[in-house]
Structure 1
Amino acid sequence: MTFLPIPPKHPPGALALALALTSFAAEAADAGDVKEQASDAFGSRIGIESIGLYSESLVRGFDLQQAGNYLLGDAYFVRAAAPPDTLVGGSQIRVGPNALDIGFPAPSGIVQYQLLPGDRTRARIELGLQHLLDTNPRPYLRTHFGYRPDDGRFSLAGGVIGSPSARYIFGNNARYHSVGLVPRLDLGEHWKATAFYGYYDQRYQADIGFEPAAGRMPRPDRLEYLGQRWSRFDTRNTTYGTILASQPREGRWDVRLSGVHSRVQRPRSDFNIFSDVTTEGAADALVSVARDRAVFSRAYEASAGRDWTTPDRRDRVTLLARLRDSDYTSPQVDTYTLGEVSLFDPVPQMREPSTVARAQARSGIEQRELGLGWQRQWQYGAALNLGLRRVGLEESATSTGGVRDGRGGHAWLYNASAVLPVGARATAFASLVRGIEEAGVAPQHAKNAFEVLPPAVARQSELGMKWQAGQGMTLIGTLFEISKPEPGFDRDGRYRFMSDVRHRGAELSMSGPLTPGLDALFGATWMRARLEGPAVDEGLVGERPVGRSERLALASLTYRPAAMQSWSFDVDATYSGPRPADALNRTRTPGYTLFNVGTRYRFRLGTLPAAVRLRIYNAGDKYAWVADGGGMQSYEPTRRAMLSLSLGD
């Protein structure tokens, strides 16, 4: 076999080269179409538009907001809240083949945020209406900029986003604004510093949850707010940090140091609950008033890597050290019962209660981690990625009564993946990961509401194939299994670990052009989710975890007529299968399909590139109930039309 020469200078991540993966194009994030840039059907987001089987909160049936598997750029990131869009241009779901080049992956997948680029001077402003068909169309503003002088040693990117009047899925009124800055500076010839600061302020009428009595759920007006009009959710989220990285040099160690802080301050996090909901719309109403919740997470990482290149292979060794420290302050909570109401009539309004001062529970998690990784890529395309980590955890908690408690432990974590070419166009891959993932906090309707659950060990194995079918079409198929402890409600209504859960499934992605001018993105997931353990054996819970669909499908088409190159038209359909709606699996929410349609017109306004974008979500106005992991139900939003005008790039 004849080997091609290996270039002496290369980016870290040999497996990415072996698979010839299409990278997530953050540099074009401000001006591009997410469907045009998505390299697979697993999930991508640019700005406010996203496409994919999975989202930043749900991957392979698991809630990544709880699991905490995030990267900010390439930096270790423990997320208290999502970084604002004034700081990041988008995100990509890293599962299957596009996760194989990550040095130390996570079992349930990783959401990777991309910082706003600073590669050139640019500016872009987007003005839009969020509910075009309503009497109150709800305006919003999104602006982004980049500045880079001719010498290129310094750059600055950032943005401003806001809306004085928005509306969310329960008909609740909202307002928000955000600012962000990303300065970058070359320190001499071999080092580069990146700093970032993003602030997001949001206030809206509190969300609503429904607990059915039994049988089919009613259909109240989705635009009519059913909660207490004074109930609200106020949050101020801050993400900031610094990344210091050396430039890769042949025969030298390249080093990256990062520190990322994520802070959430919630003066109010109220919640409206309607329990024992009947088919006729009768329900018992209560409102939970929560004050002064706070989360502050700090993540620090130091890594050093070095490459060794020979004529037939490339090796890379990585040393890793991580420190994570998270503090949680649970809110002061008061619950008020309103009695029996009808979801089809105006819900009685009580007077807003005054603030009651009381002690608050606090908890913390400190995690220390050392790791060693090795990657090898052979010239003919095969590759290996191996990693070993030693993790220490310390948890502490102080109850509202001032009682302190703590526990700690250590664990060995590992990851292994392999890539093997199979013919000229196909590549097989396999991976095995053991990692620690968060379990989130107890939901607001639990007896131990807002209590932080301890992290748990999770395992994933997968086997798959990627095939370049020609003409730009890419096909990916994966078999996977993920297992970890599963929280649930015990007999006393407390939310804690009750069993183990195992997700076994297959996923398929196909992306690329079908014909000139017609691009397609298809995906599907078939999954078998089962609970195991004493809680299942004793009949406390059923075999199926609550709120998880075992069938997902996506079909998306984008068409650019040859005679109308300035225009593009898109349509996508997403299917979500039935979900168990209670712990004993007695009921389930039906499966449903949503359709979104849209068009984009690109033109120039003087010297500026411009575009008009029309997007209709849930075009068929489908009414569908969805159960979450705690058994609470909500409905899909009603049909919504968005219109925007953007200027610049």
Structure 2
Amino acid sequence: MNFKSVLGGGTLALASAVILPTAAYAADAVHADDFQTYDLGEVEVVGQRAEEPQTQPVTEPVTESYAGGQVARKSQLGVLGERDFMETPFNVLSFTEEHIQNRQAQTIQDLIADDPAVQESSGSSASNMWTVRGMELQGGDIAFNGLYNIAPNYTNSLNAVERVDILKGPGALLYGMAPNGGVGGSINLVPKRAKDEPIRRFTLSYGNGSQFGQSVDVGERFGKNKEYGVRINLTHRNGSTTFDREKQETTGAAIALDMRRNKWRASLDAGYLHREFKNETTSLRMSNAMVAAYGSIPKSPSSKLNLGEDGTFLDAKERYALLRADYDFDENWSAYAAAGLRHSEQDYTYNVFRLTGTDGTARVINYAFPRESRANTQEIGTKGKFQTGDLAHEMTVAYNRTHWTAYTNTKTLNAYNTNLYNIVWQGVQGYTGLSLPKTGESTLSGLAITDVITVPNERWQFILGARYQKIKTESFSRTTGLRSASYNEAAWSPAYAILFKATPKISLYATYMQGLQEGGTADRWSLNAGEVFAPIKTKSTEAGVKFDLGKFATALSIYELQKPTTIDDYVTSSTYYQRQVDYTSRGLEISFFGEPRTGTRVLGGLTWIDARYGQENYNGNTLEGVANKKFVMSVEQDVHGVPGLSVSTRFLYTGSAYYDPNNVLRVAPWFRMDLGTRYSFHMGTMPVTVRLDVNNVLDRRYWQATGGGYRVNLGEHRNFMLSVTADF
């Protein structure tokens, strides 16, 4: 791979400053004799064999935190199951329940700022979209306990989530093909479980505008050996946001039941989420002519500017459930089965705000876009451990299937002219609801086989795997109900990885993975109308090194993703499709976390990325909407002499990005600083924690580039969040 365009001299110097001291530290602390064996002599063990274990271990899911409590040691990696980060040949970061609480994160958007490889790309407050390694990841591509099409589709909440796993790079082998075709990375939500100790937690919060929130979290285990567990989470939040005129209300309920008994483990997760927005903010857009005329993004007239039309709204309801059972045949072999469903409803009106004149003249167009989605997902698999000679194997064979039906409609409503510097809203007009005809039906099914091979001294690991993925989709006319297009293709997606433990504290790895997307069908206006293309394969190569120094960990990875796509080449007035390598994303990522000294916790990292089109499309220009750098660093310090008091700061820097694929207009880089404090104490015998965070404490005004280009969002202005949590 050629990383010259990514790694300039300054970048290499900064990377060396972060990594080389760590490597030196590790080299001093660890030597080859760490792998020596010792003869303890003859040891006699005296005791009685228990006929039945008195308690059963918790096996799903257990979140063991790394030093500092912000990041989990293990991640849920689909068919590979739970794996420690030092034995994982991928770049993955898993945020714990403790970190979610301390960050006062309500949604995934509140959390991903702490991952340098992920950028926010939502077009409005009411949408969910991110960019991972230059590739878009939509809210519908979020996995729930390792399975797609279970998590809420149109909105999300972290109230019932124990851990958030963020995998960078394609995950077709691990999770299967993402429903919306996300290939740059994966986000997996791990639900909460009842702990061995009862939980009775109540939280009151206020802020992020003037929103007042309440949440309840209760859990307990029952039975002679605590075989049965119940965890219930309730939440409600309501009020104005940080943007003018925007209001939101969220109501959520989730229950998690689990059983661990002898060789059986089972769980049932079910939830309901209702989220409403009024006058939701939206992006600033510019026509091609205005891109050339302006030369730069115009300054926002207000840090609270809301470009959302008066009367626009989002009303989203989500219902979901997942049942899973595991059975151990013996200590080496097990089988599992899981089945779940999701029902998503959304009534939605929104607007486009596009500049059309250099004096601030703008065009507002209002739209209605109601939709509904019904999905079900199933997976069965078996896992086994065995030996072939001196080699140890961990093999998984799994089959999964997800099916969903979409019901959508759309209507263009009123349109008018206004001015960015003196907006006069006319309100949403002409919408009284729309019917929801069936517009699409899709089924993704696949068989995955993986084998993790370990050599006798456990210093080398090899992961071999492949997934056979079938893709079947049908589209239907909204007006006639007749099928308008269909797609039925299949593809093999191989993967392999190698991991070398240079010492117990240093792991090196190299990986080849693929991502899958529907290849599409040539439309009826093209010269090759009806031609069906094979599934698109995004190919990823990655190499990295990880250091675990006991209380501080860091990782460095370099990668290259090549994503083909289907584009139109014009021949007179007709078109035809031609498959070409449309763009390539290359980058370097550094992450770090832990508690390097008692009472000092750190979390953050750096990302450099060079995402470009192929020469045959936009002449190799940089991909629009993708920032070339991102740096985040959080430091939390316990105040010595005041038990329970901590203060924190977070620095965020995002580099410049192009607004358009022609690379005419740049979105300027931006910097933000956040401050926070936390105080834990006892009120009598009741533990209480007070948290206060102030984001963008300097109240810097900035535009934020979004994936897909041709639009920017106004950055978050100064705001605060205050909460009080009591454990009864």
Could you tell me which residue of structure 1 aligns to residue 247 of structure 2? 173
Cα 1:351/1:507, change in 2 over 3 Å: closer
Quick check: 1:200 aligned with 2:273?
yes
Matches within 5 A, 1:75-474: 75-77=147-149, 79=151, 80-81=153-154, 84-95=157-168, 108-120=184-196, 121-131=198-208, 137-151=210-224, 152-167=226-241, 169=243, 171-186=245-260, 189-205=262-278, 206-212=280-286, 213-214=290-291, 215=294, 216-247=297-328, 249-251=330-332, 253-267=333-347, 269-276=348-355, 280-290=359-369, 292-308=370-386, 313-339=391-417, 341-350=418-427, 352-355=429-432, 357=434, 360=437, 362-378=439-455, 379-402=457-480, 403-404=482-483, 405-423=485-503, 425-437=505-517, 456-468=536-548, 470=549, 472-474=551-553
Could you tell me which residue of structure 1 aligns to residue 114 of structure 2? 51
In 2: Cα distance, 1:428 partner to 1:308 partner: 25
Aligned partners of 2:172 and 2:493 also within 8 Å: no
Cα 1:168/1:328, change in 2 over 3 Å: farther
Aligned partners of 2:538 and 2:561 also within 8 Å: yes
Quick check: 1:639 aligned with 2:718?
yes
**Per the alignment, in what secondary structure is the counterpart of residue 138 of structure 1?**
strand
Could you tell me which residue of structure 2 aligns to residue 449 of structure 1? none
Cα 1:103/1:164, change in 2 over 3 Å: closer
Cα 1:377/1:606, change in 2 over 3 Å: farther
TM-score (norm 1): 0.84
In structure 1, give the amino acid aligned to 2:655: G
Cα 1:580/1:157, change in 2 over 3 Å: same
Aligned partners of 2:658 and 2:666 also within 8 Å: yes
Aligned partners of 1:473 and 1:511 also within 8 Å: yes
Aligned partners of 2:444 and 2:470 also within 8 Å: yes
Deviates more, 1:627-636 or 1:44-53: 44-53
In 2: Cα distance, 1:616 partner to 1:262 partner: 36
In 2: Cα distance, 1:344 partner to 1:454 partner: 49
In 2: Cα distance, 1:224 partner to 1:201 partner: 26
Cα 1:161/1:32, change in 2 over 3 Å: closer
In 1: Cα distance, 2:82 partner to 2:649 partner: 36
Could you tell me which residue of structure 1 aligns to residue 5 of structure 2? none
Cα 1:279/1:208, change in 2 over 3 Å: same
Unaligned stretches of 5+ residues in structure 1: 39-43, 441-452
Aligned partners of 1:474 and 1:510 also within 8 Å: yes
Aligned partners of 2:108 and 2:158 also within 8 Å: no
**Per the alignment, in what secondary structure is the counterpart of residue 544 of structure 1?**
coil
Quick check: 1:578 aligned with 2:656?
yes
Unaligned stretches of 5+ residues in structure 2: 1-34, 40-56, 60-79, 119-128, 521-532
Could you tell me which residue of structure 2 aligns to residue 616 of structure 1? 694
Could you tell me which residue of structure 1 aligns to residue 6 of structure 2? none
Aligned partners of 2:413 and 2:428 also within 8 Å: no
Deviates more, 1:203-212 or 1:549-558: 203-212
**Per the alignment, in what secondary structure is the counterpart of residue 84 of structure 2?**
helix
Aligned partners of 1:129 and 1:643 also within 8 Å: yes
Matches within 5 A, 1:469-618: 470=549, 472-485=551-564, 500-532=582-614, 534-536=616-618, 543-618=621-696
In structure 1, give the amino acid aligned to 2:439: R
Cα 1:522/1:630, change in 2 over 3 Å: closer
In structure 2, give the amino acid aligned to 1:129: Y
- Please identify the structure whose Cα radius of gyration is greater: 2
Could you tell me which residue of structure 2 aligns to residue 443 of structure 1? none
In 2: Cα distance, 1:302 partner to 1:590 partner: 49
Quick check: 1:73 aligned with 2:150?
no
In 1: Cα distance, 2:312 partner to 2:277 partner: 9
Say which structure is richer in helix.
2
Give aligned-pair identity as a percent: 17
In 2: Cα distance, 1:507 partner to 1:88 partner: 26
In 2: Cα distance, 1:29 partner to 1:558 partner: 13
In 2: Cα distance, 1:439 partner to 1:610 partner: 54
